[in-house]
Structure 1
Amino acid sequence: MLRNWVIFNKVPTEQLIRVKHIHVFEGGRSALYVTSGDIVYGVGANGNYNLLGLSGRHRQFSLVLEPVSVERLSLKSINTIAVGDYFGVANNTNGELYHWGRRMDKRRGILLPHQVKCPYFVVDVACGSEFFIILTKEQKVFFRGTFQQNDHPILEFTEVSSGLSVSSISCGIFHAAMITTDGQVYNCGYDHHATYRSWKFEEGLIPKKLDLREPCTQVVCGRRSTVCLLTSGTVWACGENDNLGVESENSVMKHPSKVKILEPIRELAATWFSNIFAASTWGGRIYCWGYKTRWPAVIADACVLIDAFRNKETPSSLGLVPVAPQLSPCASFNAKTTYRRSDVNLISPEVVAKLERSLSANDLTTSHYSQDKEIVEQNNTDSNGQAESSASKASQQAQSTSKSSKNLPPGLGLLITAGNF
């Protein structure tokens, strides 16, 4: 799986086999990952705002060629990581919130990862360009930051769910989307219809309901668009028509339109940095569109949804993407390994042949089994009644042992006398 991103070629093999979760951002040029020992590492482009959250001299590096541990996020049981254009946020299993990068008030200075004083138990986070939202345990959504560079940032946690009971959240570059427990979708932020005129910042804090034909099960955000998966398995999209996959030439979709996919969809994923959309069907096919592809197309060699984002950023909707454990620390990590016969402790061909003979159909017949039993009893009687030389006794005992093994169920006697092979 990790071979899908070139950025992980810089990670040593002995460390790569311990990677447990990953989060790739900046178009695939940066990565944060968590190892099995709960140590967080950063590698790749660090930018001007220390997006990797590094400490010491590394925080001043714009490019980190080798993985460096993120000490202030390690051993914190990090659950979700989201990185925008200027800062990053994360939450852990204890509901704590962490922030790093540029200051929220836009003053000079770079912040190292630190715990934010938040009065809520945070279960999920999502990040736009200059803002982030949190989903609390009480199913409420709070906003912090600014939707546009010219707007004055909001430094206090401000509720944008307006009393709604929210189950999941997603962010675009300038807007956010949320889905309620009853399947309704709401947008907030910089006009999700992409009509940029006569927009006021205060309006962005008021959620606007999308007009959908049926309840929604999942919502994801592109750069300036919102894509919804309905209960029927159909996909609908609205916002800026930047390869949304809808049958319309309009540059802005003010109302949700159906995405051109002819089979039911199981799950969605999207990223706003590269504006990529992906969907998995119940039949196992993976569709991808956006970026440079207008219409949804099947990826022939894709097995799972994350395969649609090779060498690009990972979708925030997938959170920290889990990595399958590796079986061996081989040089060709995550590749198909060819085993030689000498590397595996195999049973010799002679033993296999004898096992096959012992489990043959002839050994399962009643007549064969009873004949062997009579022969064994007769040999035992003869051997006890005769007084012969020691050489003859030894020969008869060997014969008796060989035949008495057939007194056991087929195959078992062979295993017991395997030392005679």
Structure 2
Amino acid sequence: MSLPTNVAADEFNRLELTVTQDELENYPLMKRLTKHEQEEVVFFNVFVRPSNNITVMYITSDDNVYGMGENGYDVNILAMEGLHFRCDQVYRPIRVLGLSKKRIKAISIGGVIGAALDHDGALLWWGKDVTWKIDEIILPEEVGYRDTKFTTFSCGYAMLAAVDIKGQVYVWGPYDFNTNNYQYSHLIKFEQPVTNLSCGHSHLAVVSDGRAYTCGLGTLGQRGFSSYSPTVKNRDNKNEINLDEPCKFVACGPFSTFFVTISGKLWACGANCGQYGYLGVSSKEYIVNIPKQVALHRNVNYVLTSCDPIDYCTTLAFTDDGLYSWNGEGIGTPCKVDVEEAHFIASMCPKNVMIRVQHPSPPRPLPLSVVLLGKLDVASKLIKDLNLELEKLTVS
């Protein structure tokens, strides 16, 4: 497993992990693939469902998308059609018709919705209809306006947030799925283009011109300010987070938010408990409303969260000194990961990160001179053997 890297600037501030084809064996669902099927995988992502079962979607070299694992009758999260529509489990890879042959480059799965972005900037979503007809299931269809192009996106439990090419943020679906506050879409405007976005269970965080903002629910401190009250108006308003220096990266757990500043400091706010995962800060408060610095005395490059939408969250911090992690176990202190990174991360499901598969290079053709020398060597041995046989015949 290689460390996360940023893709090209025109592809937005999005992280990518890379594993070798041999390392696919570390992922339980990917082990079900035949060797030929593994050779065709270009990107994949693994998602933990609210039931703690696992789902995987992967993209192949011939531009097909396949799904496997828990699908769910109530959500059809793998966008299955035909005989597999709304089936509970998919035990072998099934082609996702609504996403195949559409040049999909990234996939995200929330609690009851899924979404995908293609290379042309079109954004599709599927799953439970969380806008008006909440009891219906939708197959992959474009969201927003067809002439709007997007650069990145992230799924919450029942909401989808995306950034368009102008750097503005759109949100579809409700922040709070348990209320009747259903909205098809709303636009959150920023003076400067948004360069990073992440969704939690029912909130989102963004970076714009070095400033961090949050929107959505904040009942567990994930919005990063103490005066939050659960009103519809407060959910839609963006709130700027006061950090001691510019922010370059944000990552949301289900009920937490992490901020990485330009000097490599890591700050966190939100739920701080065994149930939802500790923040890694020195405070033992159940809820941290104002961001506190994580007790990690290393320069942090990137942060990933890996969690069930309704369960505790494991946080992974990639530093100059290696990989550190903490979650809802123990006392939540960041600890360095000593085991091989590929095996460690394979047991988790990093949120909003596509995993690239690096296949072995085909053997290089031998230079012509080497081939000729090999043939000459064989020919000389044959001539030598023939001479020996002739000598035997002459003697006899």
TM-score with structure 1 setting the length: 0.73
Once the two structures are superposed, residues 198-242 of structure 1 have per-residue CA deviations (whole angstroms, 9 ceiling, x without a partner) of 411221111111110011121100111111111111211111113
Contact 1:286/1:302, CA 8 A, preserved across alignment: no
Partner of 2:216: 189
Which structure has the higher relative contact order (CA within 8 Å, separation 6+)?
A: 2
SS in 1 for 2:29: helix
From the superposition, tell whether residues 86 and 116 of structure 1 become closer, same or farther in structure 2 (CA, over 3 Å): same
Asked if residue 287 in structure 1 is aligned to residue 320 in structure 2, the reply is no
Q: Which has the larger radius of gyration?
A: 1
From the superposition, tell whether residues 62 and 175 of structure 1 become closer, same or farther in structure 2 (CA, over 3 Å): same
Partner of 1:266: 301
Q: 1:314 aligns with which of 347, 350, 357?
A: 350
Q: 1-side partners of 2:98 and 2:207: how far apart?
A: 32
User: Counterparts of 1:340-419 in structure 2 under 5 Å?
Assistant: none
Q: 1-side partners of 2:182 and 2:193: how far apart?
A: 23
From the superposition, tell whether residues 302 and 206 of structure 1 become closer, same or farther in structure 2 (CA, over 3 Å): farther
Q: 2-side partners of 1:89 and 1:164: how far apart?
A: 25
Q: 1:277 aligns with which of 297, 310, 315?
A: 315
Asked if residue 7 in structure 1 is aligned to residue 29 in structure 2, the reply is yes
Shift of 1:20: 0.6
Contact 2:304/2:317, CA 8 A, preserved across alignment: yes
Once the two structures are superposed, residues 12-49 of structure 1 have per-residue CA deviations (whole angstroms, 9 ceiling, x without a partner) of 22101211101111256100000111110000000121
Asked if residue 46 in structure 1 is aligned to residue 71 in structure 2, the reply is yes
From the superposition, tell whether residues 122 and 90 of structure 1 become closer, same or farther in structure 2 (CA, over 3 Å): same
Q: 2:252 aligns with which of 221, 224, 227?
A: 221
Contact 1:7/1:28, CA 8 A, preserved across alignment: no
Partner of 1:241: 272
From the superposition, tell whether residues 326 and 70 of structure 1 become closer, same or farther in structure 2 (CA, over 3 Å): farther
Once the two structures are superposed, residues 110-152 of structure 1 have per-residue CA deviations (whole angstroms, 9 ceiling, x without a partner) of 1111223524211111010111101111011111111112333
Unaligned runs of 5+ in 2: 1-22, 382-396
Contact 2:144/2:185, CA 8 A, preserved across alignment: no
Q: 2-side partners of 1:161 and 1:239: how far apart?
A: 24
SS in 1 for 2:260: strand
Contact 2:53/2:70, CA 8 A, preserved across alignment: no
Q: 2-side partners of 1:15 and 1:121: how far apart?
A: 32
Partner of 2:359: 325
Give the superposed CA RMSD.
Answer: 2.6
Counterpart of 2:270, as a letter, is G
More strand by share: 2
Unaligned runs of 5+ in 1: 329-344, 346-350, 352-413
Q: 1-side partners of 2:43 and 2:271: how far apart?
A: 32
In the alignment of these two chains, the number of paired residues is 332
Contact 1:20/1:322, CA 8 A, preserved across alignment: yes
Q: 2-side partners of 1:117 and 1:219: how far apart?
A: 24
Shift of 1:301: 2.1
Partner of 2:237: 206
Contact 1:278/1:286, CA 8 A, preserved across alignment: yes
Q: 1-side partners of 2:91 and 2:229: how far apart?
A: 45
Partner of 1:396: none
Q: 2-side partners of 1:302 and 1:175: how far apart?
A: 33
Partner of 2:110: 84
Contact 1:188/1:206, CA 8 A, preserved across alignment: yes
Asked if residue 134 in structure 1 is aligned to residue 159 in structure 2, the reply is no
Q: 1-side partners of 2:380 and 2:346: how far apart?
A: 57
Q: 2-side partners of 1:219 and 1:135: how far apart?
A: 14
Q: 2-side partners of 1:84 and 1:106: how far apart?
A: 18
Q: 2-side partners of 1:40 and 1:17: how far apart?
A: 14
Partner of 1:160: 188
From the superposition, tell whether residues 260 and 198 of structure 1 become closer, same or farther in structure 2 (CA, over 3 Å): closer
Contact 1:288/1:308, CA 8 A, preserved across alignment: no
Asked if residue 16 in structure 1 is aligned to residue 38 in structure 2, the reply is yes
From the superposition, tell whether residues 155 and 198 of structure 1 become closer, same or farther in structure 2 (CA, over 3 Å): closer
Contact 2:228/2:234, CA 8 A, preserved across alignment: no
More helix by share: 1
Contact 2:162/2:171, CA 8 A, preserved across alignment: yes
Shift of 1:50: 0.6
Contact 2:104/2:116, CA 8 A, preserved across alignment: yes
Q: 2-side partners of 1:197 and 1:187: how far apart?
A: 11
Counterpart of 1:184, as a letter, is R
